[in-house]
Amino acid sequence: MTGEDRARFEALQARVREVAEAVRAYKSAGGEPSQPLYHYLRDHGFSNDEIWIYSPHIGGEVGADEPEWV
Amino acid sequence: MREAGQNRSSEPIVNSRNEDIQAIKQLAADWRSGWLAGDVDALLSLYADEPVLMPQGLPAVCGKDAIRPLYQAVLQEVSIKSEGTLMEVEASGDWGYFWSIYRLTATPKAGGEPIESEGKSLFVVKRQPGGAWKIARLIDNSSR
């Protein structure tokens, strides 16, 4: 891995940690979600890659209208 | 706590479908991370023994020893900016799949015009004797 690759990867990891924070905020809001989680994350500026990489930690417990993989 | 799919005894591995889906999602996430990091060793570690890669416009590439130089060449010759989306994950028994779409720009490091591409990839994954899920077949083709 080159230095440039490593820097890009570390930036990506930092963004994925931000996805985790956003998911926690979404879950802690309680009540009926105003929008599916996937759209919530996209509206908060996260890329599909960032959501993809965090997706194993999301599980199937939130929202009924998510893409199946979220 | 036992990780999904990990087998530390001779007992049969009987995971729920949800456990398998989660494990395959993790494999997919590791794949995407490895690709975005340009980490060839990490990518190859996600393949099963004797994998087959079926890339666009090339004959099938069989085995990790043949896949390694292909990935090394790509990652050494071009800088890739890409955006990928995981579309579906499924598991049944010891087999599963996931597929994704991507859009990328590959800029030759030696100079030259960037190449833009869009495509989709289908990963056929197989539970290994130790319980981990690995990529057995990968089909990739461009959409334009």
List the beta strands (DSSP E) in B9-111: 47-54, 61-62, 78-92, 95-108
For residue A5, the chain B residues in CB contact (below 8 A) are 37-39
- A67 lies in some domain: no
Looking at the 3D structure of chain A, how many domains does it have? 1
Closest CA to A67 of A44, A51, A50: A51
pLDDT of residue A10: 87
- A65 lies in some domain: no
Domain edges within chain B:
17-142
Mean pLDDT of A2-12: 81
pLDDT tens digits, one per residue of B68-122: 999 999 989 998 888 998 888 999 999 999 999 999 999 998 999 999 999 999 9
For residues B45-63, b (16+ Cβ closer than 10 Å) or e, as one string? ebbbeebbbbbeeeeebee
Cβ contact A9–B98 (<8 Å): no
Task: Please state the pTM of the whole predicted model.
Answer: 0.82
CATH class of domain segment(s) B17-142:
alpha beta
- A19 lies in some domain: yes
For residue A69, the chain B residues in CB contact (below 8 A) are 25, 86-89, 98
pLDDT of residue B95: 97
Residue range of the domain that includes A33 = 3-57
- A62 lies in some domain: no
- A70 lies in some domain: no
- What is the C-alpha separation between B108 and B74, in angstroms, rounded? 10
